[in-house]
Chain A
Amino acid sequence: MHRLCNIAIAGVCLLPFVCTKLCRAQDAVSSDVVFLEVPIVVQAPGFHKFIKAYSDGEEFYIDMVDLLRLLGFRVDQKEGVLSAMDMNRSITLDYDQQQATLGEEEDVVPLLGELQYSEGMYLMTVAGIKRVFDADLTFDEARLSLRLSSAASNFQTSALGPRRFLGGEAPGPLRFGFERHLLGGSIISWHATSQWYRGRQVYTDMTARYSVNTLGGVVEGTAVKSSYSSTGFVNDVNYTFVRPGNRLANRVALGNQPWSDGTYMVGMRVSNLPLVTPHIQRTTSTSGRVEPHAIVEVLVGGQITDRTQADADGRYSLRIPAYYGTTEAVVRVQPLGGAAPYERRQYVLTTPALTLHRRVYYDAVIGRESAVQLQYGLTPRVTLRTGGSTARDFITGVTASPAPNVILSTDVDWPNRFVNTTVQMWRYRLGALAAYTSDHGSQNVRMSASGQFRQWEAHVSAVARHDAESWVEKRLMPAISFHTRNGMSLRSRLNLYTVNGIHRTSWRFTWNQVRSVRGTGLHTGAFMTRDASWALGGEVLVSFSTFFVGLNAKFDSGRNTIHGQLTLQWRSPIGSIRSGVTSGGMHSYSGFGTVGINPGIRFSYATHDESGAVLRIFEDLNRNGRKDPAEPILPDVEVQVWHAPVSRRNDGTLIATFLQPNTAYQVQIIEHSIRDPWLRPAPGYSFSFMAEPGRVKELDIPLQRLPLIRGRIAPLARPPGRLQVVAMIGQEVVETSPVYRDGGFALRLQPGQYTLRVEDVVDMSILFEEPLEVQQDSRTQDVEVKLD
């Protein structure tokens, strides 16, 4: 009775403030208890969402359908039983039996009095939720917030959609997608060499690799004219029509097709293999234990890729974009209470041999000779593959990664008696590899291990080869190196080997020093070797901004000769020229570079420039999104393009080069480099673009000076956290703003006619709606919103 009185008083007190909720929820559970609808905010770092909840004045009841869906479960409701499943877990809440059943082991958690079912709503007390989810959820009654641990084991933290990777290389919205052109441009990389020996030309070659963006696809080829070639001129042409993102067939190609074993086959190729080797194959996770509630973030390549808060026990789990090869991740911990932050380094090894889970990749060539390859991601850590051709072997293999730092791989060709097995391991700065190959009775064993400690590195490898009867070769090769922070390095390598019963020893010692003096690079080095005889040598390389000189010499005590070479290289705006002469009378001359045609003509001093992008960041004075002649380029705005070098051209635009075609590149506009505070990029500060084959893509990035709409809501009849201001054109939401404690809000809008709406994000009621005209010439515009 006393409790009922309290509840009644509480209800009366709250009535003026939450009357709409009260009326709707008063009979939510049973007729003798008055329930108030009290939305609860579910929080995790970078995540904030409301769910329905009710209070009887003492207990809080959470709407479990809302909560479980939020946590990424698929929820089914049936006759008093609520079943929830995600990829790894299942939870069944039986409202008749008053119990929960968890997981495949069917652990039963009694929840007597904690489950309430009424009128289609499946409710559960906070205490019950704690019993099911343990430390993964913390209820903060002061804030009515349910805090989720990012290191939770009872639900999928990745289900919290908005908690994506922060910054880093998580691709932003694709603002500049793939475009097809009848004639979109071409890029030609060229290389020419001529060698002379004592006044006589002994070798020439000319190679041009071209890539023409045409007919909606790309024509690629290589033209080679070489004095070694019997036919004199070789031209491989290939037309490829790509469909980026299509999982069934993303590439159809006609022509001379390169195959995985290095050979070529003429015919038609169809494949759904990734068009390019992706930079990120998948995400992996790292977990650990730090101070309770510490903020923990992970950096890859200097960029924060994920951030979380440790739970009450200090446990955390973070996601890392796993690059092919070795990824170094820095975990930075900021303990609460002002203690100094500290860092830990971790390494992750990822192999391209693993295919995404449940994904099938195929690659097939049909022609005079046909071949096919299949890969299947059996589990996230096991990949099966098989393949063969009409003229060659049929190989089946499996690759597994039982742990993030262990890779096992086996290939078998039976009955040809070929087996190849490798094991790779990586832990912190230690790595190890073991491989075994058996081919028609001949066996090879190869092992290596390497480690780093501060400025020291050590590496040891061993190889053994066994033919049908005996060991014919054994090698042991330890090496150690040391480097200083000012560019000096020392390396020594020993080679102990036995070949056909003969024991030999050789070693090599190398010293190098690299220095930069006022823009000039100076590289000096010396070495000493001992094999069959002694040898001593040294080299000096000097590089200026566009010019390079190299000189090296070697004395061989066995032949009692000195061998020297002088090399000169000049990097001109249209290409590079290189010349070398040796003491033995050999002269060589070579030139190389790249020409890009349409849009305009562009030269580069380097080769393999297959795709590029010009970023024109300009002030969009008339705010139409297009670059008009009078609109100035902003030469001070800095950008970062992940995995691509960016340089500024004389006209103030930026150019990103050496891009891989058909790859989405992430652009980050460095916000503080925009001088005028009113300017902001129309595509956002972070976005991506698709690099196209054979083309230097032009990206116009407008920075617009949009009027600032300053508003204030009065009176603030509802909690500001529940309110949201929306600017709409028709029914399309253009911009939204949260409402602050003082009732203020701010919007940046193009001049024009809008509908300004204030809505409650909890019950979605519309509290205010009126037209708003944003003036053409105003920098700021004040708006008063009066709520009734």
Chain B
Amino acid sequence: MTEFYNAGTDHLMSCAMHRAHMWRTLHMGAVAVFVVIAISGTCQAQDTGFATLSVSPAYAYITAQEPYGAFRLRNEGTVSMEVIVSAQYGVIEADSVGENTRIVTGRAGLVGDLTDRLIFYPERAILEPGTEQVVRFMIEGAAALPDGGYITLMHYKMQERAAVGESAIPAVATAISIEYSLVAPLVLFSGPIEPVLSTRVLGITDSTLTLLLANSTSYPFIGGVSAVKDGRSLGRILTAVYSRRRIEIPLSAPLGESPFTVAFDTDFPGISPYFARSTTPPAKVQF
């Protein structure tokens, strides 16, 4: 079970405190005394309980032939949680100079949008500590999709379930609540998978090779990227490139001055061997 979004190198967790609500609360002068109580309560709460949600699998790759599956949510923490599930078109990508890897919604390069065809249930759930919830999904009309890759991002927004006491004043309760959002990509492949990547070297140190990979097809690349020198692999990393991605390959030895090669493979844990067989990995690149 993997916690948070984890496709290769990225670990993304957005933690957004609702500052607007906080301000509104702080400006409710009549209840200022209770704000102080509530904030100190938050600190105290950290000693007695914590909220953690895990999503398994952390990514789902499905085919048009079997366009269904399930995510399993588990409350690993010690307090009750509310989870609201939604889906949005988007990807995880870096900007054009390889900086700021982030979730981008509303576009995903050439990868198609799966959101309108996605149905899932439930859309919201309350998870007691240690309990699980299965979120089943299915893609409607998947067989009719043209060849290519399609994506939607499953967002799992979790908030600690308010007990009566803490939220005796709803505005205060909202102010101190913290919303976590986990994102799990759901990708559907239709037809043969032939991603094409362009590779740019962003930096080389004795211990790291930094690359910017750009996908110029509608097929996401999912697999391993290796730095090879004199026929020997000096490092490999797993990644998923939907549009553009910055990766850092840890090196076991310096690359030195002589040429090296960046090679791609389709061996990725937790996905069906069908993908390995159906995917033509991008051609290796020499630098």
Q: Do A and B bind each other?
A: yes
- Give chain A's interface residues, CB within 8 Å of chain B: 9-10, 12-14, 17-18, 38-41, 43, 45-46, 48, 50, 138, 140-145, 147, 166, 293, 295, 297, 307, 309, 334, 336, 671-672, 674-678, 708, 710, 716-722, 738, 740-742, 744, 746, 762
Residue ID in chain A nearest B48 by CB atoms: A140
What residues on B are CB-neighbors of A716 within 8 Å? 170
Partner pick for A145 among B33, B120, B124, B165, CB 8 A cutoff: B165
Asked whether, in the complex, the Cβ of A719 is within 8 Å of the Cβ of B167, the reply is: yes
Asked whether, in the complex, the Cβ of A675 is within 8 Å of the Cβ of B68, the reply is: yes
What residues on A are CB-neighbors of B44 within 8 Å? 140-142
What residues on B are CB-neighbors of A144 within 8 Å? 163-166, 168
- Give chain B's interface residues, CB within 8 Å of chain A: 30-31, 33-34, 38, 40-42, 44-45, 48-50, 68-70, 72, 76, 78, 80, 82, 84, 119-124, 126, 128-131, 134, 136-138, 159, 161-170, 173-174, 177
Asked whether, in the complex, the Cβ of A741 is within 8 Å of the Cβ of B162, the reply is: yes
Q: Say how far A18's CB is from chain B's closest CB, in angstroms.
A: 7
Given A13-B33, A140-B48, A744-B84, does the pair A721, B130 have CB atoms closer than 8 Å? no
Partner pick for B165 among A14, A40, A678, CB 8 A cutoff: A40
What residues on B are CB-neighbors of A720 within 8 Å? 162, 167, 170
Top 4 nearest A-B pairs (CB, nearest first) are: A144-B165, A142-B41, A672-B70, A677-B121
Q: How far is the CA of A40 from the CA of B166 in the complex (A)?
A: 10
What residues on B are CB-neighbors of A762 within 8 Å? 164
Sampled A-B contacts (25; CB under 8 Å): A12-B30, A14-B34, A18-B168, A48-B80, A140-B44, A140-B48, A141-B165, A142-B41, A144-B163, A144-B165, A145-B163, A145-B165, A293-B78, A671-B134, A671-B136, A676-B136, A677-B121, A708-B121, A717-B170, A719-B167, A719-B170, A719-B173, A720-B167, A741-B174, A746-B123
Q: Say how far B217's CB is from chain A's closest CB, in angstroms.
A: 29
Asked whether, in the complex, the Cβ of A718 is within 8 Å of the Cβ of B170, the reply is: yes
What residues on B are CB-neighbors of A672 within 8 Å? 69-70, 72, 134, 136
How many A-B contacts if CB must be within 8 Å?
143
What residues on A are CB-neighbors of B80 within 8 Å? 48
Q: How far is the CA of A46 from the CA of B132 in the complex (A)?
A: 12
Asked whether, in the complex, the Cβ of A295 is within 8 Å of the Cβ of B78, the reply is: yes
Asked whether, in the complex, the Cβ of A41 is within 8 Å of the Cβ of B165, the reply is: yes
Q: How far is the CA of A708 from the CA of B41 in the complex (A)?
A: 37
Q: Say how far A542's CB is from chain B's closest CB, in angstroms.
A: 31
Asked whether, in the complex, the Cβ of A46 is within 8 Å of the Cβ of B130, the reply is: yes
Asked whether, in the complex, the Cβ of B128 is within 8 Å of the Cβ of A721, the reply is: no
Residue ID in chain B nearest A304 by CB atoms: B130
Given A13-B31, A719-B170, A741-B177, does the pair A334, B165 have CB atoms closer than 8 Å? no
Residue ID in chain A nearest B44 by CB atoms: A142
What residues on A are CB-neighbors of B45 within 8 Å? 140, 142-143
What residues on A are CB-neighbors of B136 within 8 Å? 671-672, 674-677
Q: Say how far A93's CB is from chain B's closest CB, in angstroms.
A: 24
Partner pick for A14 among B129, B137, B168, B173, CB 8 A cutoff: B168
Asked whether, in the complex, the Cβ of A741 is within 8 Å of the Cβ of B42, the reply is: no
What residues on A are CB-neighbors of B121 within 8 Å? 677-678, 708
Asked whether, in the complex, the Cβ of B164 is within 8 Å of the Cβ of A17, the reply is: no
Asked whether, in the complex, the Cβ of B159 is within 8 Å of the Cβ of A741, the reply is: yes
Q: How far is the CA of A710 from the CA of B136 in the complex (A)?
A: 18
Asked whether, in the complex, the Cβ of A676 is within 8 Å of the Cβ of B138, the reply is: yes
What residues on B are CB-neighbors of A9 within 8 Å? 33
Residue ID in chain A nearest B140 by CB atoms: A676
Q: How far is the CA of A765 from the CA of B204 in the complex (A)?
A: 68
- Name which of A18, A142, A297 has the most chain B CB atoms within 10 A of its CB: A142
- Name which of B120, B121, B137, B164 has the most chain A CB atoms within 10 A of its CB: B164
Asked whether, in the complex, the Cβ of A746 is within 8 Å of the Cβ of B41, the reply is: no
Partner pick for A41 among B124, B128, B164, B173, CB 8 A cutoff: B164
Partner pick for B163 among A143, A307, A718, CB 8 A cutoff: A143
Q: How far is the CA of A334 from the CA of B50 in the complex (A)?
A: 13
Asked whether, in the complex, the Cβ of B138 is within 8 Å of the Cβ of A675, the reply is: yes
Q: How far is the CA of A742 from the CA of B137 in the complex (A)?
A: 23
Q: How far is the CA of A352 from the CA of B184 in the complex (A)?
A: 50
What residues on B are CB-neighbors of A13 within 8 Å? 30-31, 33-34
- Name which of A18, A140, A708, A744 has the most chain B CB atoms within 10 A of its CB: A140
Q: How far is the CA of A50 from the CA of B163 in the complex (A)?
A: 10
Partner pick for A721 among B50, B69, B122, B162, CB 8 A cutoff: B162
Q: How far is the CA of A717 from the CA of B134 in the complex (A)?
A: 31
Given A142-B45, A143-B45, does the pair A744, B124 have CB atoms closer than 8 Å? yes
